[in-house]
C-alpha cells in the first residue's frame, strides 16, 4: 500500500507542479503575464481546497477507494488535456478541473496511510508517501518537464505526464484496502455535525494557520522561483529546472527524516526546526552572488527544502492525532482547505499582482514570511500523539 500510494502521490504532485516549471515556455507561447501565471496556480489551489474537504468527508462516510480510484483516473486525463490548451482561458479551465480531481487524492491517500500504520511508525510511513511529491514532483518533474519542453515543446510534457496515473488507478483498485476505520470508529458513524465540530479543536485552527503559511511558501517559491531565475538572474529554463530539481531532491531526503524523527522526539520541535530551515530557501534564491557558483546554490537549495516534511507533520499527523478517529479524513481536508485557499490561491494571485508593481523578488520575501508563520504555530500547538515519547492524543476539543 505504501509503495502504490507513494507512486500515486508523486504523480499527483508532478501533474500539479508541471505548469509552474513549464511557465518559462508556456508564457511566451500563450502570451501570459506573471499575474496570469499566478492565477493558473491559484485556480488549482482553490478547486483543490473545496474538493479536499468535501470528498474527505465523503470518504469518512462511504469509504476511501470509492473516492480515490475515479479521481486518480480523472486527474491523469485532465493533465494530458492541459497540453491541448491554446488560450489562457482554456488552460485556466483545464487546471481548475485538475484541482477538483486532485484534492480528494491528497486527503484520502494520506488518511489511508495514517489509518493502516502502527502508531509507532505512523510518522515514518506518512513521511515516506508524502516525500514522493519531492522526489517525483519537485526533483524529477522540473528536470524532465523542462527537458521535454526544450526538445519537443511544452505540450508534450503535459501529454506524457498524464499517462502513468491511469496505471496507478488500476493498482489502487486491485491492491489497496480501505482503512480499517472507514466510516465508523468506536461505533460512531460520521455525521455532518461532526465535520462542523472540527472548528472546536485548537490544534485544527493552528494546523490550518500553519498550512496557510506553509503553502504560501511552497507555491510562491515554485510559481515565481523559476521566473525569477530566468527573467531576473538570466538563467536558462533548463538551469532553473536543474536548480529546482536539486531542491526537490533535498525535500525528498528531509521528508523521510523529519516525520520519522517526530515519532521519536515529538511533532512540535520537529515542525519548528523545519520551518526555520525552510525559510532560508527563498533567501538563497534572492542572493545574486550564488548564481555565479550554481553548484553551491544547488547544495543550499538541497539542504533547505523541508516542504514535504512540513506537510506530513502539519497537514496530516497533527490534525489526525488531534481529533476522534472517525473524523481523520475530514481533519486533513479542513487543514488542506485553509492552506490551499490562503497559500495556494490568494498568495499566488496577490503575488502576481505585486510583481507587476514591485518585481519578481517580492514573492520570495513573502515565501520566507510564510515559514515564520509555521514556526509560530509550532510553538503554540498542544501536544499530540507521538507514541515513542509517550504523548497521548486528545479525545476532546480544546
List domains and CATH numbers for the chain.
2-177+194-389 (1.20.1250.20)
Q: Which residues pair with 189 in a beta bridge?
A: 184
State the Rg of the chain over Cα: 19
The number of residues making up the chain comes to 398
Tell whether the model's pLDDT for residue 221 goes beyond 50: yes
CB distance 134 to 252 below 8 Å = yes
| Cα 169 to Cα 108: distance, rounded to the nearest angstrom | 13
Tell whether the model's pLDDT for residue 384 goes beyond 80: no
pLDDT in tens, 44-53: 888 988 898 8
What region does 381 belong to: left with phi over 0, alpha with psi -120 to 50, or beta?
Answer: beta
Q: Which residues pair with 188 in a beta bridge?
A: 185
Band of residue 398 on the pLDDT scale cut at 50, 70, 90: low
| Cα 321 to Cα 264: distance, rounded to the nearest angstrom | 15
pLDDT in tens, 149-166: 888 989 998 888 888 888
SS3 content of the chain, % helix, strand, coil (to 5): 85, 0, 15
Q: Read off the pLDDT of each residue in 127-140 and give the average, rounded to a whole number.
A: 82
Q: Read off the pLDDT of each residue in 50-65 and give the average, rounded to a whole number.
A: 84
How is 96-123 classified by DSSP, letter by letter?
HHHHHHHHHHHHHHHHHHHHTS-GGGHH
Q: Read off the pLDDT of each residue in 176-203 and give the average, rounded to a whole number.
A: 63
Residues in contact with 360: Cβ distance below 8 Å, sequence separation at least 6, in sequence order: 34, 224, 227, 228, 231, 232
Greatest alpha-carbon pair distance for the chain in Å reads 62
Q: Which pLDDT does position 317 carry in this prediction?
A: 92
Residue that the C-alpha cell 499566478 belongs to? 38
Tell me the average pLDDT of the chain.
Answer: 85
Tell whether the model's pLDDT for residue 239 goes beyond 50: yes
| Cα 109 to Cα 126: distance, rounded to the nearest angstrom | 10
Q: Of the spans 133-142, 203-212, 221-230, which averages the highest pLDDT?
A: 203-212
Q: Which pLDDT does position 189 carry in this prediction?
A: 53
Amino acid at each position: 500500500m505504501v509503495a502504490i500510494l507513494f507512486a500515486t502521490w508523486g504523480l499527483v504532485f508532478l501533474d500539479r507542479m508541471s505548469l509552474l516549471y513549464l511557465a518559462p515556455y508556456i508564457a511566451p507561447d500563450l502570451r501570459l503575464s506573471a499575474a496570469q501565471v499566478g492565477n493558473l496556480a491559484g485556480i488549482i489551489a482553490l478547486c483543490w481546497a473545496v474538493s479536499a474537504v468535501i470528498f474527505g468527508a465523503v470518504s469518512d462516510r462511504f469509504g476511501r477507494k470509492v473516492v480515490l480510484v475515479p479521481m486518480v483516473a480523472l486527474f491523469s486525463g485532465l493533465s494530458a488535456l492541459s497540453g491541448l490548451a491554446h488560450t489562457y482561458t482554456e488552460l485556466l479551465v483545464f487546471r481548475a478541473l485538475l484541482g477538483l480531481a486532485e484534492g480528494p487524492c491528497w486527503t484520502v491517500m494520506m488518511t489511508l496511510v495514517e489509518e493502516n500504520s502502527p502508531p509507532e511508525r505512523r510518522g515514518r510511513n506518512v513521511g515516506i508517501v508524502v516525500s514522493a511529491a519531492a522526489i517525483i514532483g519537485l526533483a524529477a518533474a522540473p528536470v524532465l518537464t523542462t527537458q521535454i519542453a526544450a526538445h519537443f515543446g511544452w505540450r508534450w510534457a503535459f501529454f506524457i505526464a498524464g499517462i502513468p496515473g491511469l496505471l496507478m488507478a488500476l493498482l489502487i483498485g486491485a491492491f489497496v484496502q480501505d482503512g480499517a476505520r472507514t466510516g465508523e470508529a468506536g461505533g460512531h458513524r460520521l455525521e455532518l455535525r461532526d465535520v462542523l465540530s472540527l472548528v472546536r479543536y485548537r490544534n485544527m485552527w493552528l494546523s490550518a494557520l500553519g498550512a496557510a503559511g506553509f503553502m504560501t511558501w511552497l507555491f510562491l517559491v515554485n510559481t515565481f522561483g523559476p521566473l525569477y531565475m530566468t527573467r531576473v538572474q538570466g538563467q536558462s529554463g533548463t538551469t532553473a529546472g536543474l536548480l529546482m530539481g536539486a531542491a526537490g531532491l533535498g525535500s525528498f531526503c528531509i521528508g523521510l527524516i523529519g516525520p520519522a524523527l517526530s515519532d521519536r522526539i515529538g511533532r512540535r520541535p520537529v515542525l519548528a526546526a523545519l520551518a526555520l530551515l525552510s525559510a532560508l530557501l527563498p533567501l538563497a534564491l534572492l542572493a545574486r552572488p550564488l548564481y555565479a557558483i550554481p553548484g553551491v546554490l544547488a547544495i543550499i537549495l538541497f539542504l533547505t527544502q523541508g516542504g514535504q516534511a512540513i506537510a506530513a507533520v502539519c497537514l496530516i499527523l497533527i490534525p489526525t492525532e488531534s481529533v476522534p478517529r472517525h473524523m481523520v479524513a475530514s481533519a486533513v481536508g479542513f487543514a488542506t482547505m485553509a492552506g490551499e485557499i490562503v497559500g495556494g490561491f490568494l498568495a499566488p494571485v496577490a503575488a502576481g499582482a505585486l510583481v507587476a508593481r514591485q518585481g519578481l523578488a517580492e514573492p520570495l520575501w513573502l515565501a520566507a514570511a510564510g515559514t515564520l508563520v509555521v514556526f509560530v504555530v509550532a510553538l503554540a500547538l498542544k501536544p499530540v500523539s507521538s507514541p515513542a515519547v509517550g504523548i497521548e492524543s486528545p479525545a476532546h476539543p480544546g
